[in-house]
Amino acid sequence: MVISFSAGGIRGGALRFPVAGPGRSAIVRTAMTFEDVVREHQDAVYGAALRILGDRDAAQDAANQAFIKAYRSIASYDPARPIRPWLLRIAVNEAITIGRRRTRERARQAPEDEAARLADRAATPERETLDRESREAIRAAVARLPELYRVVVVLRYFNELSVDEVAAATGRSASTVGVQLLRARQLLRKAMDAPGV
């Protein structure tokens, strides 16, 4: 099935892209505006940014910037592919950029031990059923992963993308993503088994 995507005055007019996944809605839309795309994917984009940055305000900024960049560069979107991984790739890149900028600013403004402290992350509804201590331990362990591994873990396990979709979103090969996920799981296991966790 293919949905028509109206770019709302953006160069190229109407775009068409496939509807992904077996869980398609019983209601079939024939046209989709950029506003519809934002509404449908805003939680995933914000969630990815929040898990990378660990701060609600910074994640909101990253999500907003990601949608602005997506809107401005819609002409570069390949309508033969699902839009979600494309949006998540933009969001991840924006979150990484904001995170690096914030790290540089903190290093200039605060003592080293304060700059290394992680911001408290807000719980998401799907995590409410998990035990608070386990949730915090997992969150802290993921946040301590090197950026290379943290990005693939967030996209694969928190945003539930397939390995191929993570590869597309990060610009890496599927085999590289697989190796990075394996290494990330090893690092997480080691972190979770450490005393005091």
Give CA 130 to chain center in angstroms.
Answer: 21
Predicted confidence at residue 196, as pLDDT, reads: 58
Predicted confidence at residue 66, as pLDDT, reads: 93
Predicted confidence at residue 45, as pLDDT, reads: 93
Predicted confidence at residue 138, as pLDDT, reads: 77
Provide the β-strand partners of residue 87.
none
Rounded to whole angstroms, how far apart are CA atoms 44 and 20? 15
Query: Taking the model in full, what pTM does it have?
Result: 0.55
Rounded to whole angstroms, how far apart are CA atoms 135 and 92? 22
- Please state whether beta strands 2-6 and 14-18 pair in parallel, antiparallel, or not at all (unpaired): antiparallel
Phi, psi of 10 (to 5 degrees): -80, 145
Rounded to whole angstroms, how far apart are CA atoms 166 and 197? 29
Residue ranges of the chain with pLDDT lower than 70? Answer: 1-31, 107, 109-133, 135, 195-197
pLDDT in tens, 11-24: 333 444 444 444 44
Rounded to whole angstroms, how far apart are CA atoms 197 and 53? 21
Rounded to whole angstroms, how far apart are CA atoms 174 and 160? 15
Look at the domain 127-197 and name its fold: Arc Repressor Mutant, subunit A (1.10.10)
- Here the tokens at position 51 are 């898990």
The full set of domain ranges for the chain reads 127-197
